[in-house]
């Protein structure tokens, strides 16, 4: 069964999806289906029945999948997926910048400084 060329298998088996792609998979089953449709079911382990969404991995048997979901690798991946990716706003806040939207600075202490100077 499966791929007859073993070289193809070993060359591609470690290629996983990017975290942002997996996030989209979890949020939208349609996105995931589109990805799975790019794979030929007969090329997948156990015809693609045992799939871990978080790790974008197929497993040979349900036993393997269940064991994997309990494992360290899977839990680390779930944790990674829960953490929000850094945004520009977060990095701006880290260096003391904020959104200047005309409502002034977030702290009011600066007004007190101005009063004392005049």
The residues binding Zn ion (CB under 5 A) are 52, 54-55, 74
CB of 70 to Zn ion, least distance (A): 10
The CB-of-69 to Zn ion minimum distance in angstroms stands at 6
Compute the least distance from the CB of residue 37 to Zn ion, in Å. Answer: 21
Cite the DSSP H helix spans in the chain.
Answer: 6-12, 19-27, 29-37, 62-70, 72-82, 88-94, 109-117
Do residues 76 and 83 touch, judged by C-beta distance below 8 A? no
CB of 35 to Zn ion, least distance (A): 15
- The residue among 72 and 103 lying less far from Zn ion, judged by its C-beta, is 72
Q: Are the C-beta atoms of 1 and 44 separated by less than 8 Å?
A: no
Which residues have CB under 8 Å from 2's CB, separation 6+?
9, 42, 43, 44, 45
Return the number of the residue (16 or 41) whose C-beta is nearest Zn ion. 16
Task: Rank residues 32 and 52 by Cβ distance to Zn ion and give the closer one.
Answer: 52
Q: Which is nearer to Zn ion, 75 or 111 (CB)?
A: 75
């Amino acid at each position: 069964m499966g791929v007859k060329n073993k070289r193809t298998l070993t060359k591609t088996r470690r290629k996983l999806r990017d975290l942002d792609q997996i996030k989209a998979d979890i949020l939208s089953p349609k996105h995931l289906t589109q990805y799975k449709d790019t794979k030929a079911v007969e090329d997948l382990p156990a015809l693609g029945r045992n799939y871990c969404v978080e790790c974008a991995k197929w497993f040979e048997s349900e036993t393997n999948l269940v064991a994997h979901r309990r494992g360290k690798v899977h839990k680390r991946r779930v944790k990674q997926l829960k953490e929000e990716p850094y945004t520009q706003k977060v990095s701006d806040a880290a260096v003391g910048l904020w959104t200047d939207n005309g409502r002034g600075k977030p702290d009011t202490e600066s007004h007190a400084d101005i009063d004392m100077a005049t």
